[in-house]
Amino acid sequence: MADAGKRRVCYYYEPEIGNYYYGQGNAMKPHRVRMTHSLLEGYGLLHRMRVLRPIPASNRDLLRFHSDDYIAFLRSATPDRHLDADILRRFNMSDDCPVFYGLFDYCQSYAGASVCAARELNRGRADIAINWSGGLHHAKRSEASGFCYVNDIVLAILKLLEVHKRVLYVDIDIHHGDGVEEAFYLTDRVMTVSFHKFGDYFPGTGHIGDIGYGKGQHYAINVPLDEGIDDESYHYVFKPIMEKVMEAFRPDAVVLQCGADSLSGDRLGCFNLSIKGHSDCIRYMRSFNVPLLLLGGGGYTLRNVARCWCYETGVALGVELDDEMPDHEYIGYFGPEFTIHAVPSNMENKNSRRSLDATKVKLLETLSSLQHAPSVQFHEQPTSMDTDQAISSFNFSFHKRIKEQISSFLYPGEASSHGQERRGFYCFNSLPNINGSEGLVFDLLNEKKIGVIEFDKFIHALSVFRPLNLTLSSGNLPMSILTKMTKFARSGKV
The span from the CA of 13 to the CA of 5, in Å, is: 25
The span from the CA of 426 to the CA of 408, in Å, is: 16
Which H or E run contains 354?
helix 353-368
Which residues are known catalytic residues? Answer: 138
Q: How many other CB atoms sit within 10 Å of the CB of residue 148?
A: 25
What is the maximum alpha-carbon separation in the chain? 74
DSSP-derived letter for residue 489 is H
String of DSSP letters for 380-425: PPP-HHHHHHHT------SHHHHHS--TTSEEEEEEEETTEEEEEE
Give the 3-state secondary structure percentages of the chain, helix then strand then coil, rounded to 5.
35, 15, 45
- What's the one-letter identity of residue 463? S
DSSP-derived letter for residue 173 is S
Positive or negative torsion for Cα 36, 39, 45, 51: positive
DSSP-derived letter for residue 339 is B
DSSP-derived letter for residue 334 is G
Question: E strands of 40-189, at which residues?
Answer: 50-52, 128-131, 167-171
Please report, for residues 59, 112, 150, 162, the alpha-carbon distance to residue 63 in angstroms, rounded to integers and kept in the order given.
Answer: 6, 13, 10, 16
Name the β-bridge partners of 417: 420
The span from the CA of 446 to the CA of 354, in Å, is: 35
The span from the CA of 449 to the CA of 229, in Å, is: 35
- In terms of Cα–Cα distance, which of 237, 202, 243, 233 is closest to 222? 237
String of DSSP letters for 192-244: EEEEEE-SSSTT----TT----GGGTT-EEEEEE-TT--HHHHHHHHHHHHHH
DSSP-derived letter for residue 189 is S
The span from the CA of 133 to the CA of 115, in Å, is: 12
Q: Is 24 exposed, middle or buried (0-12, 13-18, 19+ CB in 10 A)?
A: exposed
The sheet carrying 435-443 orders its strands as: 410-417, 420-431, 435-443, 448-454
The span from the CA of 211 to the CA of 205, in Å, is: 12
